A and B are shown apart, each in its own frame.
Chain A
């Protein structure tokens, strides 16, 4: 009998297919885990890109406002933010999707909504925390320009919890460095000239002090005020700069309105010349202020007939007052010309970045004019300027808009405003607290001179 080839039994067939199914299952698990991995890497990529978006936002905010972290409401915050539906300030201005165009309305467009597919689905799962702190929280330590920021993105992944963390140090260029006001004056050279040029003697200051009974400090203060103000007037710095400006203005008058580049350049040069004049004059006002403080401490600023004052020294006093007026006047002129550079045609030509720089420069100037004791409308002018910025930036430039609102808030609490800007506080101390005392004395003593 020939051996007949036996068919597979049912059991064999089932076993065979089970093995096959087992292999398929392993393969399936492998593929599904690679799908999870791919999903995770897609989420990770999204987290990287979104976190870059948040960090760019922070950089922009800090470029405009050194207190940007507070304006955004994230300083020391542990709140969780969500990406979609405009629930976070960072994702509320994404696109101008609806009319009226040219303005992003936080309530009707700007957010990532369900219409924005597939972005909505891929970013809906993300939550994030942002925290930032200044490296030096107060005072004028050099690190106060540096801000440390942390951005943590997290999401629920099939493989567990996904996380992407970024931390960085950012620089806020708007917090200016402390300026040494004594830099332009060579004090030793001035002091050496005092005995000969002020007291007409070859004696040393100590010897003059012994012979007149005045202390050395008073004599030096008196001499410095006299020599520095006389030098300034003799240098004709102010007259020369005013001549420069006169020439520039005549060139500006002859420049056709369509020559935008030249119009802008001439206005810039005039504004900068006025601003430099204000700076130089302020440095003299600020340098001499402690000298007056010495005189005041010595009882010399109480009456016009204090010892060592004669008509020549009254003249020096008047110079001081003139230099202060030069400072205040130049600053107002600089502001006028910087403002004139904001002309719409010029801005269209120069672009938004120049416009931002100009606005920032003007904010600096408006702040100083707002604290000038001799310009009572200064504060109101600054408020109106901030309102203009708000109007200009609403729905277009959220960083600037928030800055204007923040600054307006600070103006209502002047002490806090000063605390936030140490440079401004120093200026305020000199301009608003010390200079009025000196000017009052000069005014009363010069009135005395005339009526005596």
Chain B
């Protein structure tokens, strides 16, 4: 009597199975890693957008307080802006190098600083505000004495985001 014996896997079966397992494994790994990276990118982009929005709001807040644009003059495009407010205080919006961020990102990066000069003529820490931490480029263009266009590129590890805004000054009265 031939005793029925449990047959072992053949070499071919094992090779096929291992091949399939490896293939599916590789695909699954790739999917997971792509999904992970995408999600990271997405959250970085969301952060970038949030930062841009915050910067835009800050810029609007700051510039709206102005009553007179000193620089850029009409028709001029400059990387900085100087304006006066209703009590004749001068505010300067300018870029200063942000070396830490620049080293981390491997490119030149600036911070956007707003400094309001009060009457004392001395440096006052409280009058300085950082509006944006990592700016790649920023231009102010004035097309009328009462408004300014801002073209800003905000950058982080995962890319850059550029926005174009037009902000009007607080307009006070006429000549009479």
**Which residue of A is nearest B45, CB measured?**
A38
Q: List A contacts of B77 (CB < 8 A).
A: 95-97, 101
In angstroms, Cα B68 to Cα A32, docked, is 47
B151–A119 contact, CB under 8 A? yes
Contact with A along B61-96 (1 / 0, CB 8 A): 000000111100111110000001000000000000
Say whether A59 contacts B168, CB under 8 Å: yes
Cβ of B146 < 8 Å from any Cβ of A?
yes
Q: Which residues of A contact B143 (CB under 8 A)?
A: 60, 93, 104, 396-399
The one of A60, A96, A395 that contacts B146, using a Cβ cutoff of 8 Å: A60
Which residues on B sit within 8 Å (CB–CB) of A52? 165-166
List A24-56 residues whose CB lies under 8 Å from chain B.
24-25, 27-28, 31-32, 34-35, 38, 41-42, 45-46, 49-50, 52-53, 56
Interface string of A74-118 (1 = CB under 8 A from B): 000000000000000000011111000111100000001000111
B127 is an interface residue with CB less than 8 A from chain A: no
- Residue of B28, B73, B144, B163 near A400 (CB, 8 A) is B144
Which of B35-43, B98-106, B111-119 is near enough to bind chain A? B35-43
Q: State whether the Cβ of A351 lies closer than 8 Å to any Cβ in chain B.
A: yes
Q: In the bound complex, how far is the Cα of B151 from the Cα of A41, in angstroms?
A: 20
The reply to whether the CB of A303 lies closer than 8 angstroms to some CB of chain B is no
Instruction: Give Cα A403–Cα B61 distance, bound, in whole angstroms.
Output: 29
Q: Which of A14, A94, A272, A356 contacts B144 (CB 8 A)?
A: A356
Considering the chains assembled together, what is the distance between the CA atoms of A97 and B11 in angstroms?
Answer: 70
Give the CA-CA distance A173 to B67 in the complex, in Å. 17
Question: Which of chain B's residues 91-147 have a Cβ closer than 8 Å to chain A?
Answer: 139, 141-147
Say whether A31 contacts B39, CB under 8 Å: yes
A45 touches B52 (CB 8 A): yes
Residue of B nearest to A18 (CB): B24
- Chain A residues whose C-beta falls within 8 Å of the C-beta of B31 in the assembled complex: 21, 24-25, 28
Chain A min CB distance to B168 (Å): 5
A397: chain B residues within 8 A (beta carbon): 74-75, 143-144
Please name the residue on chain A nearest to B56 by beta carbon: A49
**Residues of chain B lying within 8 A (CB to CB) of residue A358:** 175
Q: For chain A, give the interface size range.
A: 35 or more
Shortest Cβ distance from residue B52 to the other chain A in the assembled complex, whole angstroms: 7
Give chain B interface residues in 144-176, CB to chain A under 8 Å.
Answer: 144-147, 149, 151, 153, 159-168, 171, 174-176
Residues of chain A lying within 8 A (CB to CB) of residue B149: 53, 94-95
Q: A122–B45 Cα gap in the complex (Å)?
A: 13
User: Is the beta-carbon distance between B46 and A38 smaller than 8 angstroms?
Assistant: yes
Tally A-B pairs: CB < 8 A: 163
- Contact partner of B145 (CB less than 8 A), chosen from A25, A50, A355, is A355
Q: Which residue of B lies closest to A276 (CB)?
A: B176
Q: Assess whether B28 is in contact with A13, with CB atoms less than 8 Å apart.
A: no
**B164 pairs with A103, CB closer than 8 A:** no
Contact B167 A56 (CB under 8 A): yes
- The reply to whether B162 and A42 contact each other, CB–CB distance below 8 Å, is no
In the assembled complex, A414 has its CB within 8 A of some CB on chain B? no
Chain A contacts of B73 at CB under 8 A?
Answer: 352
- A187-228 near B? 1/0 per residue, CB < 8 Å: 000000000000000000000000000000000000000000
**Structural contact, B35 and A27, CB atoms closer than 8 A:** yes
Instruction: List B contacts of A103 (CB < 8 A).
Output: 75
Q: A240 near B: Cβ within 8 Å?
A: no
A358's nearest neighbour on chain B, judged by CB, is: B175
* Given A45-B49, A94-B141, A102-B76, A361 contacting B163 (CB threshold 8 A): no
Tell me if A151 is interfacial: C-beta within 8 Å of chain B: no
Task: Kindly report which residue of chain B lies nearest to residue A397, judged by CB atoms.
Answer: B74
- Which of these, B27, B32, B162, B168, contacts A56 with CB under 8 Å? B168
Q: B143: shortest Cβ distance to chain A, in Å?
A: 6
Distance A259 CA – B146 CA, assembled complex (angstroms): 26
A97 (CB) vs chain B CBs: closest residue: B77
Determine the distance from Cα of A268 to Cα of B70 in the docked complex, in whole angstroms: 21
Please give the distance in Å from A277's CB to the nearest CB on chain B. 15
Q: 24 A-B residue contacts at CB 8 Å?
A: A27-B35, A28-B35, A31-B35, A31-B42, A34-B42, A38-B45, A41-B46, A42-B49, A49-B56, A49-B164, A56-B166, A56-B167, A56-B168, A59-B147, A104-B75, A104-B143, A119-B162, A122-B162, A352-B145, A353-B67, A354-B175, A360-B174, A397-B74, A397-B143
Q: Interface on A for B, CB 8 Å cutoff?
A: 7, 10, 13-14, 17, 20-21, 24-25, 27-28, 31-32, 34-35, 38, 41-42, 45-46, 49-50, 52-53, 56-57, 59-60, 63, 93-97, 101-104, 112, 116-119, 122-123, 173, 268, 272, 351-358, 360-361, 393, 395-400
A-B contact sample (19 more), CB < 8 A, given A59-B147, A399-B144:
A10-B13, A10-B17, A10-B20, A13-B20, A24-B32, A24-B35, A45-B52, A49-B165, A60-B143, A96-B141, A104-B141, A123-B164, A352-B142, A353-B145, A357-B175, A358-B175, A397-B74, A397-B143, A400-B144
